[in-house]
């Protein structure tokens, strides 16, 4: 966790969230980007989309949520948890 200097004029919520990226609140801007048929990054990449066979798996892996690893209190991803608890 990133150390944060406490300022008297900051709320507790602001202090708690200052080290994390926002995951909501920009829905309007996201909708402007995703709801059209134009390619955004295709002209800037060397990836040949016709050769991509596991794009969803890669995206899922990179955006998996972090969860508590149990009693140890460590943080792991859902996929790691599933590998660690195969019978759950």
Those residues whose C-beta lies under 8 Å from the C-beta of residue 28, and which sit 6 or more positions away, are none
Residue 2 tokens, joined: 């990133």
Contact 4, 15 (CB under 8 A): yes
Q: What percent of the chain has pLDDT over 90?
A: 0
Assess whether pLDDT exceeds 80 at residue 43.
yes
44-54 pLDDT per residue, tens: 889 888 898 88
The pTM score is 0.28
Long-range contacts for 67-70 (Cβ within 8 Å, ≥24 apart)? Answer: none
> String of b and e for 24-43 (b: at least 16 CB within 10 Å)?
eeeeeeeeeeeeeeeeeeee
Q: What is the pLDDT of residue 3?
A: 47
Q: Which residue has the tokens 């295709």?
A: 42
Q: What is the pLDDT of residue 12?
A: 64
């Amino acid at each position: 966790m990133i150390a944060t200097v406490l300022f008297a004029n900051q709320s507790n919520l602001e202090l708690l969230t200052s080290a994390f990226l926002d995951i909501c609140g920009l829905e309007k801007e996201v909708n402007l980007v995703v709801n059209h048929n134009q390619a955004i990054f295709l002209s800037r990449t060397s990836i040949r989309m016709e050769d991509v066979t596991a794009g969803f798996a890669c995206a899922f892996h990179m955006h998996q949520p972090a969860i508590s690893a149990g009693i140890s209190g460590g943080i792991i991803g859902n996929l790691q948890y599933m590998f660690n608890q195969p019978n759950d």
